[in-house]
């Protein structure tokens, strides 16, 4: 991943609703959720949701697919993984304390020095 793509993705995630949306879609990967179901879960209007979905889709963090009259949105887990890899490896230079916080999918507090 290049810096411009990482910046676009991070900017898209820098919003409470969009971060909640990505977390929800990751939990429902790979199938995703219908837009109406997302709106109900998040308690946002259709127009607000459309704005957030568009922002995340432009950043490559989610993708949409149409099935009959419904539009489903799913997390682009590979792109999200590349973003995490960029942050851990390129930005943090695989620093051991930073990497330890990601061990086994749970937050680990680094030891005090």
What residue segments make up the domains of the chain, in order of their start?
A: 3-105
Model confidence band, residue 24 (pLDDT cutoffs 50, 70, 90)? very high
DSSP 101: T
Tell me the average pLDDT of the chain. 88
For the cut 90, the answer to whether the pLDDT of residue 111 exceeds it is no
- pLDDT tens-digit map of 61-89: 999 999 999 999 999 999 999 998 888 88
Burial of 109 (0-12, 13-18, 19+ CB in 10 A): exposed
- What mean pLDDT comes out for the span 2-22? 96
Q: How many CA atoms lie within 13 A of 54 on its CB side?
A: 6
Architecture per CATH, domain 3-105, reads as Orthogonal Bundle (1.10)
- Kind and range of the H or E element at 47? helix 46-58
* Closest of 66, 75, 86 to residue 23, by C-alpha: 75
- pLDDT tens-digit map of 82-109: 998 888 887 777 677 777 776 655 544 4
For the cut 90, the answer to whether the pLDDT of residue 36 exceeds it is yes
In angstroms, the CA 2 to CA 99 distance is 20
């Amino acid at each position: 991943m290049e810096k411009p793509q990482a910046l676009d993705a991070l900017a898209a995630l820098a919003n409470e609703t969009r971060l909640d949306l990505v977390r929800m879609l990751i939990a429902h990967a790979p199938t995703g959720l219908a837009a109406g179901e997302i709106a109900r879960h998040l308690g946002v209007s259709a127009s607000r949701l459309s704005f957030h979905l568009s922002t995340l889709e432009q950043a490559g963090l989610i993708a949409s697919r149409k099935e009959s009259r419904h539009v489903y949105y799913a997390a682009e887990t590979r792109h999200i993984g590349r973003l995490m890899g960029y942050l851990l490896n390129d930005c943090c230079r695989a620093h051991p304390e930073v990497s330890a916080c990601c061990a086994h999918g749970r937050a680990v507090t680094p030891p005090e020095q």
